[in-house]
Amino acid sequence: MKAAIYYNPKKIQTEDIPRPKISPDEILVEMKACGLCGSDLMHWYLKSRAPLVLGHEPTGIVAKTGKNVNQFKKGERVFVHHHVACLECHYCAHGDYTLCEDFAKTKIHPGGLAEYFRVPAPNVQKDTLKIPDSLSFEEATLIEPVACCLKAHTKLVIRPEDTVVIIGAGPAGIIHTSLSKNLRPAKIIVSDLINYRLEAAKQFGADLIVNPKNESLIEKVREVTSGRGADVVIVTAPNAEAVAEGLKTCRRGGTVCLFAPTPPSTQVSVSPRRLFFSEIRIVPSYSTSHIETRTALKLISSGKIKAKELITHRFPLSETSEAFKTAEKGECLKVVILNE
């Protein structure tokens, strides 16, 4: 079968590899569509694991089921979550499913950017969802990123009168904009360095867009909040400058959500004294669980999240390298790989 192998940013090749074999409790899925995630572009994050098959936002058709699998049949349309928790450990008992030791171990094989992938038994049992016929495979690839954003929102308190600042207008930033709009905040301010994405943010509900290359985000936020600052700041850009900007933009008593990782060596200077007297809360949110994926599917199916409008570029599996180049340029929103 064909699979896109990532070696380094300049070497992503479509190669022939063996089709995975499944055990009695597993299923084999023929990939139909798989989204590219921002983490797929974090080369510092991938370097130590290369070569590998990326892709953790896949949808497809059940091609084969193990003899013990009863809940799925050959030919059914599915979304598969790449990680699942054990649901029994100390972390799971506290609802911290993404911190469960089993979470990172339960990966689909070899990855979503392949003609076929194997779904381990825990993933089959806990977070493989049937896709309704009314939803396209492409739209369903947004289940995982929407679920990640939903998980972050469960940690935040956004009131109707609040001002929400979203730093970074990539797919995650746009989804956060849509979710925040549904909660009726007074103002949604989106910041990005790429005008194409800022215009998209406006279409998805942003009340104000700011390009920091042209004007100060901090000054703009203070201008519309009577000098207070934002009630909630969601940082989706994976760099120290964005985190520092988020902290400066947040009001006293507000919340800064860290939604993207930075390289291991990255440090941000934070004054404990300022945090103490300002009572600013820093809330990280990593990945998502079986709880949010189900809600995400409902939101996309109902049209509350306009998944189709988020997808701007499509490439066949054979052109995965070009897909990565397009995603890196940033003049796009969601890039999806298709296995046709």
Range of the domain at 241: 156-284
**Residue linked to tokens 């690839």:** 141
The whole-angstrom separation of Cα 247 and Cα 190 is: 15
131/233 same-domain check: no
pTM: 0.96
332/248 same-domain check: no
20/108 same-domain check: yes
What is the number of domains present in the chain?
Answer: 2
Residues contacting 77, CB < 8 A, separation 6+: 59, 60, 61, 130, 131, 133, 137, 140
Q: Which of 118-122, 157-161, 163-167 has the lowest mean pLDDT?
A: 157-161
CATH number of the domain that residue 218 is part of: 3.40.50.720
In the predicted model, what is the mean pLDDT of the chain? 96
Q: pLDDT-derived band of residue 165, with 50, 70 and 90 as boundaries?
A: very high
Q: pLDDT-derived band of residue 48, with 50, 70 and 90 as boundaries?
A: confident
327/261 same-domain check: no
Residue ending a domain, choose from 242, 262, 284: 284
Q: What is the pLDDT of residue 340?
A: 80
6/140 same-domain check: yes
Minimal CA–CA distance to 32: which of 9, 4, 57, 68? Answer: 57
What would the mean pLDDT of 290-313 be, rounded to a whole number?
A: 96
216/259 same-domain check: yes
165/314 same-domain check: no
7/120 same-domain check: yes
Cα 190 to chain centroid, rounded = 17
Residue 17: exposed, middle, or buried by beta-carbon count in 10 A (0-12, 13-18, 19+)? middle
Segment 178-212, tens digit of pLDDT:
999 987 788 999 999 999 999 999 999 999 999 99
139/170 same-domain check: no
7/137 same-domain check: yes
143/6 same-domain check: yes
Residue 164 reports pLDDT greater than 80: yes
Q: What is the pLDDT of residue 70?
A: 96
